[in-house]
Amino acid sequence: MTVASYFLPRSPAEAVEILAARGPSLMVMSGGTVAMPLVNEGISLPEEVMGLRFAGLDRLEVVDGGLEIGATVTLTRLLRQRTVRMLSDAARSTASWTVRNLATVGGNLFTPPPGGDVATALLALDASVTLTGPAGSRTVPLADFFTGFMTTVLRDDELVTSIRVPAVEGGTAYLKFGRKQANTPSVVTVAVRVVRDGGAVTDARIALGAAGPHPILADGARTALVGSRLDDDAIGAAADAAARESEPFSDGIASEWYRRRMVRLFVRRALEQVASAGAGEGR
Ligand SMILES: Cc1cc2nc3c(=O)[nH]c(=O)nc-3n(C[C@H](O)[C@H](O)[C@H](O)COP(=O)(O)OP(=O)(O)OC[C@H]3O[C@@H](n4cnc5c(N)ncnc54)[C@H](O)[C@@H]3O)c2cc1C
């Protein structure tokens, strides 16, 4: 089977119209860094493909101190923005320059396990995702977007059109642990955001990548931190809780046992980084 039709819509509306008309067998391709290898290896043999490159989904704007990120903004552009440092760090840790020049933020939400590194950062930052279909757009918190192993709330006739990141409150840290410098799948990725008032933690989000079927929030770790002074005991309790509640898996990169240990270690390190940076604002 070969590709019989390739669609290149020139607007979001046209993209949604084509998707509605062709149905779920249409392969949606953004940067193609996940989709194309599947075609090359014969795992996916689509007859119809829609490229989003010219669909007008590539705006990257500062809005109310946060970011509005079009779904097709590349990771290279995300790396270069200066508004949200954690997203720059996450983009830099993803793949390599050549891949980042093509790979998109929207596509990162669909990264197969061990999962998207940028998506993990977006989860810690309390991002929301706008999904657009023939009936219009709806916005869902990223925390509610993932539903299971390679499943999301996206309907067959919808596209991810943008991602909204609110202004960053509190201190942040992002750590990815892989085996190599570049093009390295994650052993574990940890993204944390901690809000403090007078030294006491009032809110926290600890997102884990490669530690579940999709990027997950460690709610037990949050509970261990809120109300604490982000001291060593609280950090240790949060790291232990994150290791307990993570759902790691074994693959060619690391065993479940090792991943769980690395979750504990890297949550500890990330929180220590925030603690030593002081109670100031993060980006
Ligand atoms: C060598 C190599 C190294 C890599 N390293 C990393 C890494 O370190 N960390 C990491 O996180 N990822 C890594 N990846 C995976 C990949 O590059 C990223 O996940 C990237 O962000 C995917 O974006 P894309 O635009 O290329 O997705 P595509 O390949 O275009 O699409 C991927 C999937 O998402 C769907 N999709 C894409 N955009 C939309 C949209 N707007 N609406 C609805 N569905 C959509 C497509 O239908 C497809 O199923 C690597 C890939 C390669 C080839």
Phi, psi of 81 (to 5 degrees): -70, 155
Pocket of ligand 1 (CB under 6 A): 28-35, 37, 52, 71, 94-95, 99, 102-104, 106-108, 110-111, 116-117, 159-160, 183-184
Contacts 24+ apart (CB under 8 A), 268-272: 268/235, 268/236, 268/238, 268/239, 269/173, 269/175, 269/190, 270/173, 270/174, 270/175, 270/190, 270/191, 270/192, 270/206, 271/173, 271/192, 271/194, 271/225, 271/230, 271/235, 271/238, 271/239, 272/235
How far is the centre of ligand 1, averaged over its atoms, from the C-alpha of 40 (Å)? Answer: 15
Largest CA distance in the chain: 63
**Tally of helices (H runs) and strands (E runs) in the chain:** 11, 14
Whose tokens are 């918190």? That residue is 141
Which domains does the chain possess? 5-51 (3.30.43), 60-165 (3.30.465.10), 171-276 (3.30.390.50)
* Burial of 237: CB neighbours in 10 Å, binned 0-12, 13-18, 19+: middle
Q: Are 256 and 250 in contact (CB under 8 A)?
A: yes
C-alpha to C-alpha distance for 75 and 107, rounded to whole angstroms: 10
| Predicted confidence (pLDDT) per residue in 4-55, tens digit | 999 999 999 999 999 999 998 999 999 999 999 999 999 999 999 999 999 9
C-alpha to C-alpha distance for 112 and 109, rounded to whole angstroms: 9
Atom 45 of ligand 1, nearest CA residue: 107
- Testing ligand 1's pocket by substitution, the residue of 33, 57, 158, 160 carrying the most ligand atoms inside 8 A of its CB is 33
| Predicted confidence (pLDDT) per residue in 211-230, tens digit | 999 999 999 999 999 999 99
Closest ligand 1 atom to the C-alpha of 33? 26
Atom 21 of ligand 1, nearest CA residue: 108
How far is the centre of ligand 1, averaged over its atoms, from the C-alpha of 103 (Å)? Answer: 6
Q: pTM of the entire structure?
A: 0.97
- Testing ligand 1's pocket by substitution, the residue of 11, 34, 175 carrying the most ligand atoms inside 8 A of its CB is 34
| Predicted confidence (pLDDT) per residue in 63-73, tens digit | 999 999 999 99
- Token couple for 119: 């998506």
| Predicted confidence (pLDDT) per residue in 96-132, tens digit | 999 999 999 999 999 999 999 999 999 999 999 999 9
